[in-house]
Structure 1
Amino acid sequence: MKERIYFYHTNDLHSHFENWPRIRDYLAAQKKQHKEKGEDVFLFDIGDHTDRWHPLTEGSKGRENIHLLNELGYDAVTIGNNEGITFSYEDLNHLYDDAKFPVVLANLFNSNGHRPDWVYPTYITQTAKGTKIGIVAVTAEYPAFYDRLGWIVTPARDELKAQVRVLKKKVDVVVFLSHLGIREDEWVAEECPEIDVIMGGHTHHILERGKIHNKTLITAAGKYGMFVGEIAIDFDHTTHTVSNRSANLIDTAALPASLNEEEEIKGWMESGKQLLSSVEASLTEDLPHDPFDSLSPLGSVLGDALLEWCDADCALLTGGLLLDSLTKGPVTAYELHRILPHPINPCTVYLNGSELKEVLREAQKKEWPATVVKGLGFRGTILGAFIYKNISWDNHHFYIQNEKIDPDRLYSVATVDMFTFGYFFPQMQRAKKEYFMPEFLRDILKNKLKEMQA
């Protein structure tokens, strides 16, 4: 006898709620249809459902995302880096307090080495016919960031292999919720043949029909809710194996419009604004901003804030981080969020003089300001002009605090975490560094504005 089982999956929504009404309506209708036919259906989210760029997620500390998942009756979820390293320890520890589904995650621990009480390393559910489905999940490792927040994240590969070995003995079908990325998913398919289906995310890849890799089905549904994943498997009760598996992506834009969806989308935005309506500072004058002006007044204030927060010798950031100006009068939490929506942390990087000069020469490339930036936590569009604090130059000489850079001296440079990932400045990626977490740029700007009004 063969039993058909359906899985639906979402990943990397990143709080793009503009797609959620259609996703919700479609998944609710599919679940209803399958159940009316007596078919088993399971719904999973693969992480990064939250993203603090959206005011509703920011204002509710992610709790409203969980309510949306509850509403649809998800069967299990895992976390991505946007849940794991953009919320404070306390906020993540309570993010799923109201969840009506299990959070499956095998490679996250408290600093004492114990798993938090809101996660399951694996989870077992079953169909109406008694077929046992084992769910395992791990998330991408960012050990420096997790450590700063008070968590321990263990090697995903090792944890996964250990959990799968035990899980396979207890279940008929093994499903892996992977927030690791496509290359890691391919490795898993080769190294863990016990896994029947991998539902992936993190690298925002699109697999329209999935792909079979070493007899394992690998699937993924892109990003931002542009697609919903659908999987069908046949479990053979005679051979006790999955005899057939297929995958498909549903284009959200092609789905029927949800009733009053525009009003609902606007309502989520307005709810977020209300949650962020507290007045955080008051300005006695406008602070205009031009992302192409390295001496922009608001950019200069942010540069001072960064320099002071990191207590560094100098500071380096860009005008594109700020999305708008601030006007005279009260400044709300929403206004700060609107101009600095990025989940980007301050960072101190330690460079010797020779390395620092290389970075400064690189920063002066004429093409940088208009460069469009995607990823790295950046939620703006262009990089903008570089903003320098305690840094000057003439001809071919660079100065820190008006003193010529000493090639052998170690300098502390206040900057932003996106510059330490290797894309812009390899020197910063290799260097010793200290991340400040859970503070974002908007937090240090808020503190600076309060100081200015005192």
Structure 2
Amino acid sequence: MEVIHIYHTNDLHSHFENWPRIYELLRERKKWHKEAGEAVYLFDIGDHLDLSHPYTEATKGRINTKLLNKEQYDAVTIGNNEGITLSYEALDHLYDDALFDVIVANLYMSDGKRPAWAIPHQIYETDQGTKIGVIGITAYFERLYELLGWKLTEPIQELSQQVEALRGHVDIIVLLSHLGINDDEVIATNYPEIDVILGAHTHHIFHQGKLINNNLQGAAGKYGYYIGHIELKVDDSKNIIDKKAILYDTSKLPIAHEEKAIIENYYLQGKQALAEKAVTTDAHISREVLAKMLCEKLVSWCHSDCAIINEGLILNGLDEGDVTYFDLLSICPHPINPCNVTLTGAELKEILLDMKAAKWETLPVKGLGFRGTLMGRMISAGITREIIGEREKFYIHSKEIQADQEYIVTVPDMLTFGNFFPSIYRATKKDYFLPEFMRNILADTLRDKVKA
């Protein structure tokens, strides 16, 4: 009987505060298993990086590749944070120095060729001759990849092709899936050839795995709170006779050697790398004023009729003096892009009325690219109001909004991914602006203010 160990991480999102303990556990376990003559593999299932961390922002994710190299990972797949928060050039060079395989079957260049750094699957062979086929698949944000210059194919169709390519050539198939729990369960039901699915994207947690048919699913949540471990036992005929999954809670692991210093060093190196001056302000600017300035800038920057944003996009104000790129990241850390949404006047007026609700200011928000805590008050630019008796009128360019007329409204892309305003969420015409984040546009806004 052969024992095979697979350790997996996912959705770290550059939460390096948990990385020293992850590093020490994996290094120790790898040593144990090799001394016992057992096979061991390390996989990451995407979203290892997040540009909200200064070191990741400063290096465009190259520090994340360096950390994965140091821990001697065998393979990774990409998540949406690698795929659509980096520019084309940054992603294309993210893995230049990688010592591991980057497995992503459904990503291509615009000409239909695979990027040189990506492969659709890999076959690993243990010392005892067991062949493990590993496939990687990433979430289907087709339009956003296209805007950045990539071509993304439908993941399930690509998965079928890779399973067929491995059929008869391997003893075990493992899927690195950055698709989310719902798609993983569908795959487990429809692809009995796949023995293990290591999941990500929806930050789900399986403390002891989840068995669907003969497929074992493993998922380790987010932010490095857990490390996943799959153990497979294989007989002499290369059949899996036992499989189990477990998660290790990093908060319960021993404190890593020089843990605090390592974590602080990651942050300080990022801060120093982003110390270049972006602009100089002649007075303190409050959070509310910055949000208003950004909202107004979006109208001209995106060539729209009006703009709507949530004040929670800006976390703090700016003091008088030099403003660095680190300062901009600190007050606007979100990987959120602007998006032009086409709405009817009736839909727009419904949103403008709903925006006045007190709930927005204290509404907690997680995910959708948002790296703050509260939604914040909803504000607009390019729109004026007039109250006549009991009736409230709305105007764009001094003309009253007409119910059946179409308007181009700029919003943070998070409003198109989450169902905060149904008409925005359901809109059929959405034009995203990539790769610029809100903080990049805020920097332009501040520069314009200084010039004025």
TM-score (ref. length: structure 2): 0.97
Q: How far 1:178 sits from its partner (Å)? A: 0.5
Distance in 2 separating the partners of 1:250 and 1:372 = 28
Q: Are 1:450 and 2:442 counterparts? A: no
Given the alignment, which residue of 430, 436, 440 partners 2:437?
440
User: What amino acid maps onto 1:89 in structure 2?
Assistant: Y
User: What amino acid maps onto 1:88 in structure 2?
Assistant: S
RMSD: 1.0
What is the aligned partner in structure 2 of residue 321 from structure 1? 313
What is the aligned partner in structure 2 of residue 359 from structure 1? 351
What is the aligned partner in structure 1 of residue 4 from structure 2? 5
User: What amino acid maps onto 1:68 in structure 2?
Assistant: L
The answer as to whether partners of 1:398 and 1:405 remain within 8 angstroms in 2 is yes
Change beyond 3 A, Cα 1:404–1:424: same
Q: Are 1:407 and 2:384 counterparts? A: no
User: What amino acid maps onto 2:228 in structure 1?
Assistant: G
What is the aligned partner in structure 2 of residue 280 from structure 1? 278
Given the alignment, which residue of 384, 388, 413 partners 1:392?
384
Q: How far 1:417 sits from its partner (Å)? A: 0.2
Residues 379-413 of structure 1: CA deviation (Å, up to 9, x unaligned): 00111111211112224322223321111211111
User: What amino acid maps onto 2:447 in structure 1?
Assistant: K
Distance in 2 separating the partners of 1:97 and 1:29 = 28
Instruction: Tell me the secondary structure at the aligned position of residue 120 of structure 1.
Output: coil
Superposition map of 1:192-341 within 5 A? 192-238=191-237, 240-289=238-287, 296-341=288-333
Instruction: Tell me the secondary structure at the aligned position of residue 354 of structure 1.
Output: helix
What is the aligned partner in structure 1 of residue 371 from structure 2? 379
Q: How far 1:433 sits from its partner (Å)? A: 1.3
Distance in 2 separating the partners of 1:426 and 1:113 = 35
The answer as to whether partners of 2:85 and 2:335 remain within 8 angstroms in 1 is yes
Superposition map of 1:8-27 within 5 A? 8-27=7-26
Superposition map of 1:108-187 within 5 A? 108-187=107-186
User: What amino acid maps onto 1:434 in structure 2?
Assistant: D
Distance in 2 separating the partners of 1:196 and 1:71 = 28
Of all paired residues, the percent bearing the same amino acid is 50
Gap runs ≥5 in structure 2: none
Distance in 1 separating the partners of 2:343 and 2:209 = 45
Q: How far 1:88 sits from its partner (Å)? A: 0.2
TM-score (ref. length: structure 1): 0.97
Q: Are 1:65 and 2:57 counterparts? A: no
The answer as to whether partners of 2:355 and 2:379 remain within 8 angstroms in 1 is no
Distance in 1 separating the partners of 2:185 and 2:315 = 38
Q: How far 1:430 sits from its partner (Å)? A: 2.5
Distance in 1 separating the partners of 2:111 and 2:351 = 39
Instruction: Tell me the secondary structure at the aligned position of residue 257 of structure 1.
Output: coil
User: What amino acid maps onto 1:332 in structure 2?
Assistant: T
Distance in 2 separating the partners of 1:121 and 1:106 = 4
Residues 26-83 of structure 1: CA deviation (Å, up to 9, x unaligned): 0000001111111110000000000011001000100000110000100110000000
Gap runs ≥5 in structure 1: 290-295
Distance in 1 separating the partners of 2:351 and 2:159 = 39
The answer as to whether partners of 2:368 and 2:418 remain within 8 angstroms in 1 is no
Q: Are 1:54 and 2:74 counterparts? A: no
Distance in 1 separating the partners of 2:393 and 2:135 = 56
Residues 323-344 of structure 1: CA deviation (Å, up to 9, x unaligned): 0001111110000000000000
Q: Are 1:429 and 2:428 counterparts? A: no
